[in-house]
Structure 1
Amino acid sequence: MTEWQPWRHVGPEPRKKGLVVVADHASNFVPDDIELGIENKLLGEHVALDIGVEGVAERMARRHGVPAHLACVSRLVCDLHREEDNPAVVPTTSDGHLIPGNIGADVEARLDRFHRPYHHALADWLDESDPGLIISLHSFTPALASKVEERPWEVALLYNTDDLPARHAIRLFGEQGLTVGDNQPYSGKELNATMNRHAEAHGRHYLAIEVRQDQIVTEAGQARWASMIADIAGRVALMLEAA
């Protein structure tokens, strides 16, 4: 029997200079031996996972040939898209919800069990595949419970210092008639942990794509966005190659 691990790979083997997709918040799984102390319904909400992302990434991998590295644990257990020393790596609150089981939690044990294996596996996978473009896939809620403003963007591109791929993608998504966020609803200069570590630190190009969750809550929406993201990312990769 295969030992459980906090990540899984879906789709074909990566090809050199090809596309790959990474989804840090693809799962709402909570191990039986961890008690978060929250209502079960919260596990289906955005505080526990990026709604719709697993379906999009699976379709990109299985139908469009983009290999995927997917998280297999909820962000409420250990947020894989945070630096190890970030206080929110084991969150005690999320969008106004208290996570009482995480108060006083053994953060080092959570890092050893979830965060480090996930990122070590991702590092090895990227070193072996040497992709031309990494797609970091996330989703955002149309509005936070703790804030009143609506978020009008159907999709957004985040970046820190490497904005060239994002510039191409913002234009291409805009040509689809979409309202596209440029480092919104939050900035990649402040929240870009996985791509800072595995892309920018190694000179790898990436697209950090945030899709608004109402766009991908259904299977039809997931199929539409999987196709669109795979197409646009492929076009961006060609532009980068030709530059």
Structure 2
Amino acid sequence: MSPISIAGDAAAGLLLITDHASNHVPEGVDLGVDPALLHEHVAIDIGVDPLGRALCAALGCPGLLGPISRLVIDLNREEDAPGLIPTASDGHRIPGNIALDADAHAARIEHYWRPYHNAVAESIATNAPKLLISLHSFTPMLREGGADRPWQIGVLYNQDDRAARIAIPLLEAAEIVTGDNQPYSGKVLNATMNAHGEANGIPYLGLEVRQDLIGDGPGVAAWAERLAPIIAATRDAL
């Protein structure tokens, strides 16, 4: 299953990628969970679909939105990573995934994970972006404990921190409460950008937005307005 493509001008030098933009569960996939769970953060990065679209519009750049719930398969994991097809997430068991045999596991990868990453690679080869934007959202607190997450934005990176080191001071200057590799570390969880950014020598800006800030239309509009000029300035400073 290929990503949802957002039209834009390759000359903008940007490509926005959002792995967890959808809570879609394809016909024939039975997760065995309460349907209400599909509207929670374990199934989808809340707010990133409309925010991604708004940022693409503001920046005039193309975008690729993940088309499937991460409870079906997590597109931001390596093909052989534990948790690629989660059996539990933040205290919720996923019975339909626990029951998968080896053939069904391989079929999920073949039908959903591989076409997505092939399409991302093709878009990068075609558009030759100067900067990748990796957009996610995070919950203010996990169900399974942990401290409050006060950051408004987290900037994630692994070995390549070129864009992060430009963007973090810009975010702080805009009075945005910014986490440097918080609430997650890109050195641990960065599969899509490792494969398509770091492996190709392309700078990337990994942005995690706190989901309560972008849970409605006005929030999305406000954060698109705040983030778009910072993304553009980061690109221009590379």
On the 8 A contact 2:160/2:198 being kept in 1, the answer is: yes
Q: 1:13 Cα deviation (Å)?
A: 4.0
Q: Deviations over 1:160-179 (max 9, x none)?
A: 00112101111111111121
Amino acid in the other structure paired with 1:24: D
Deviations 1:93-151 (A, max 9, x none): 00010000001322110000000000001000001101010000000000000014100
**1:152 CA drift (Å):** 0.7
State the secondary structure of the residue aligned to 2:148: coil
Cα distance, 1:227 vs structure 2: 2.4
- C-alpha deviation, 1:222, in angstroms: 0.8
Does residue 10 in structure 1 map to residue 6 in structure 2? yes
1:173 aligns with 2:151: no
Given residue 50 of structure 1, which amino acid in structure 2 is its aligned partner? D
1:183 aligned partner, one-letter code: N
- Cα distance in 2 for partners of 1:174, 1:13 equals 29
- 1:234 aligns with 232
Q: Unaligned regions of 5+ residues in structure 2, if any?
A: none
Equivalent residues in 2 for 1:22-171 (5 A)?
A: 22-105=17-100, 106-171=104-169
Structure 2 counterpart of 1:223, one-letter code? A
Once the two structures are overlaid, the 10-residue window that deviates more, 63-72 or 152-161, is 63-72
Contact kept, 8 Å, 1:64 with 1:227, in 2: the verdict is no
Q: Which amino acid aligns with 1:186?
A: Y
Contact 2:2–2:119 at 8 Å: present in 1 too?
A: no
Cα distance in 1, alignment partners of residues 6 and 57 from structure 2: 7
The separation in 2 between residues aligned to 1:149 and 1:113, in whole angstroms, is 37
Tell me the SS of whatever aligns to 2:83.
Answer: helix
Residues 179-198 of structure 1, C-alpha deviation per residue, up to 9 Å, x if partnerless?
10001111000000000000
Number of matched pairs: 235
Percent sequence identity is: 48
Deviations 1:180-237 (A, max 9, x none): 0001111000000000000000100000000000110011111122222221111011
Query: Over the residues paired in the alignment, what is the CA RMSD in angstroms?
Result: 1.1
d(CA) in 1 for partners of 2:31, 2:146: 27
Deviates more, 1:33-42 or 1:64-73: 64-73
Aligned pairs (5 A) from 1:217-232: 217-232=215-230
The answer to whether the 8 Å contact 2:58/2:228 transfers is no
Unmatched 5+ stretches in structure 1:
none
Q: How many angstroms does 1:59 deviate by?
A: 1.1
- What TM-score does the superposition give when structure 2 sets the normalisation length? 0.96
In the aligned structure 2, how far is the partner of 1:234 from the partner of 1:64? 7
**Whole-angstrom CA distance in 1 between matches of 2:63 and 2:84:** 23
Cα displacement (A) at 1:153: 0.4
Matched residues in 2 for 1:85 and 1:104: separation?
Answer: 18
Amino acid at match of 1:11: A
